[in-house]
Each structure stands twice: as C-alpha cells, then as structure tokens.
Amino acid sequence: MRVGLVYHPVYLEHDTGSHVENAQRLIVTMSHLEENQLKDRLVLLSPRQATIEELSKVHAPEYIARIHKQAEGGGGWLDADTVISPRSYEAAIYAAGGALTAVDAVMNREVDTAFALVRPPGHHATCWQAMGFCLFNNIAVAAKYALANFHIRRILIVDFDVHHGNGTQDTFYTDSNVLYFSVHEYPLYPGTGSIDETGARGGEGFTVNVPLLAGCGDDEYQEVFEDVLAPIAQRFEPQLIMVSAGYDAHWADSLALMQMSVTGFARLVQILKTLADLLCQGRLLFTLEGGYHLQALPLSIAATLDTLRGNREIADPLGKQQSKSRTTNFDNFIRMVRSVHKLD
C-alpha cells in the first residue's frame, strides 16, 4: 500500500511558545517516524500554499486578510486559546494547502491513502473566527476543493478528535454533499455537538454527532464506529472519506478525560480503511487535528500510518487504561443515536 505523508518544516514556524499546541508535536512525531524507519516506507508529499480563492470557499475574505495582517504585524492572541506569530499565516496557508495536496495525491492515484501532518490545526475555525488553536479549517477547505475539482458529489468527513469540530459542522450544516460525523467527549469545549444537531434545510440528516461521556475508551469508540458510523457510511455511499484525526482522546492526554489507547486508534483506522475499500475505491485521507501528549501523539500517528500500510501488529508501549463508562446506559445511548438517524 502506498501511503503518502504531507509535511513541511514551515509548520514549525507557527510559533506558539509554551502553548500546548506547539512545534514539538510535529518535531517528536517526525523523529519517531525516522527512528523507526517508517518515514522511509512512505511517499513523501510536499505541500503547496492554499490560495485566497480556495480559502474563501470556507472563510470570509475579510477574515483571511485580518489573519494575514495580524501575523505581519507581529502576531498576538486572537482569543484566550489561539495565538499567532509572524510566520503563522504562512504556516496556516501551507497547512490548508497540505490537505489539498493530500486530496490531489489520493484522487489522482499517486498514493492509496494519505496523512497530512500539518499545523496549525483547523476543525474549530469558522467562516469569521479563529478559535481552539485553529486559524483556517484545513479539512473543510480540502472538502470544498475536492467537490469543485473532481467528479465526486459525496464526501464523508469523520472527526475523532476529543473536541467537537464546530467549524467543520458549521461549514456543511446545510449541505447534503458532505456528511459530517463526529465522536467526541461531551460536555467539553467548544460546547457544540449534541445528539440533536443533525443538519438544517437541505443538509438535514447529514450531520451526525455522537457525544460521549468522559471515561470512554477503545471498546466504546469501536462500537460507535461499527454500529453507527459504518451503517451511516454505507447508506451515504461516499466517494471520498476524509478524517479529522485528533489523538487527544488518548488516556495520557491532559486536555480531556477519555481512555483511548494507541491500539484503539489503530482499530478505528482499520474500520475506516475497510469502509473506504468497500465504498469509495480506497480513497481515504487524514489531516492532523489535536493530540498533545508528546509520547502518545507520535505513537498514535505511527500506528495510523502502519495500519494504512496494512500492518495489523501495532506496538503500544503506553498500554491501555480500563474505560470507565461501560454500562447498560451506553448500549441504550447507542440505540438512541441509531434511532435519531433512522438506522433501526
């Protein structure tokens, strides 16, 4: 299997100082891929810049100009969570462009699957607002690009970041061409992603939220993917699957309270790969969102890449934690989600 990796050192130039979303996330990941010789088994893809026109399919031109101007002016805080530095705008247009590069590589069959190892992340960014460490919504820009430039009409976006991707949901909330599926801890930042947020107008039914209580782990996430995501994907019949890959649901990550493990993430990736092979000729790509533990993150990304390459023997030196939410109430919750989306 040819697995593409999109990366560029410009992503390190988004200087956030001691912020939890910092350049070390990518530095330790690339070091891990090199030390384990996994990098040599991947197809390295060089990203391009996203154009203003491409960004404007998701973001207001005035917002794009404001981010550019603030970076040129030396940067600063955009909100309580999100900071930019003088090179952040350049890093951000390459981050969005990295997702576009992944789309091109997968759709043109240069690779079978691709992973965009980019920052700043994107899924919280809305049309007018940077938030949650995000400047431009990389995966939303890429989905708009794929619909406009390839002969496809249905894209499935799967978001397993521990935080709900409010920006991605907002972008496609009335759009039946993109089905947005999110599994996330709830309640948690940004406060969106309840079960009854299902889309509006022409997009009614094309937003699927699975808000989980803190303490869920590998078994609960696998059940969500098998009993909710899989039948929804089969009904939707996507022509491309795109994944907002956030690894902050790992038990070692301090930003949330989930109990996922490295092998648990690998299991989710295997389900996604199987769905892509079944439904859309294997067209599958990932773009990095969250994940802030500097051991768990590189291990989880490497497990993702190994699984995409067809390796089912995944090393997990950090091991597992026992999930804390497995009760009959969880099974009832899954039945409720299935009922909301008419899967029963």
Q: Which tokens belong to 133?
A: 């460490």
Q: Which tokens belong to 331?
A: 């099974």
Of 32, 280, 299, 274, nearest to 155 by C-alpha is: 280
124 is catalytic: yes
Instruction: Quote the Cα angle for 138-174-222, to 5°.
Output: 65
Q: Which of 14, 124, 163, 341 is catalytic?
A: 124
Q: Which residues are catalytic?
A: 124
